[in-house]
A and B are shown apart, each in its own frame.
Chain A
């Protein structure tokens, strides 16, 4: 158990809909990262927040947005969903803002768009 929690574990929705994924980092970690992993594909880095502020951006679509709250939990919002958005979405946390830091991953949210 990494200490990172994600909810929900599974999510099934329809095209065009909007969903919110939630992540709570390990106690003491200030950085939260979001990743997308499609079936049999590598990890795609989406975005990083550090202590409430956006720190780094990867290949995040304009339809996706994220935020980190004062209690350090983070939410990833996915809107106008398409079939291709079906994937595992991982959240990870680390202590520092530096991208060269060990990351601890949550169990993931499996999103299925029908």
Chain B
């Protein structure tokens, strides 16, 4: 079946930069979305890509390569509050696929 793959867990240092990758095996997504979810809370929308390339929104950027089935979320100037899970989601007219999420641990 269709699926989206993300690393299960990543660790980074406060103030640093981290890149969270997301790969998928299906074509036909109209958009690739990134959400942040703190433990026990609802996911919140961060960024999305419809076309190939980089979308920048403050400390967060997201990149998409549709031909390679690859996206990443880049977080700069990491803060302790960025400790959360980051979910990658692909959507189209007929399918909605979520990755299992990457748990990001920020250390001082």
| Chain A interface residues (CB < 8 Å from chain B) | 2, 33, 41-45, 48, 56, 58, 88, 90, 92, 98-108
Contacts and interface: CB of A to CB of B under 8 A. Distances in A.
B43 A90 contact: yes
A4 to B, nearest CB: 8
Q: By CB atoms of chain A within 10 A, which of B29, B43, B50, B101 has the most?
A: B43
B87 A99 contact: no
Interface in B93-108: 93-96, 98-101
Contacts of A58: 96
A90 B99 CA distance: 16
B23 to A, nearest CB: 15
Interface residues of B, number: 24
A44 B96 CA distance: 10
A41 B98 CA distance: 11
B33 interface: yes
A103 B43 CA distance: 9
A42 B99 contact: yes
A106 B29 CA distance: 24
A106 B41 CA distance: 9
Contacts of A102: 33, 45, 48
B93 A98 contact: yes
Contact of B42 (A33, A42, A100, A106): A106
Interface in B72-108: 87, 90-96, 98-101
6 contacts: A2-B42, A41-B100, A43-B101, A45-B98, A107-B42, A108-B41
B10 to A, nearest CB: 16
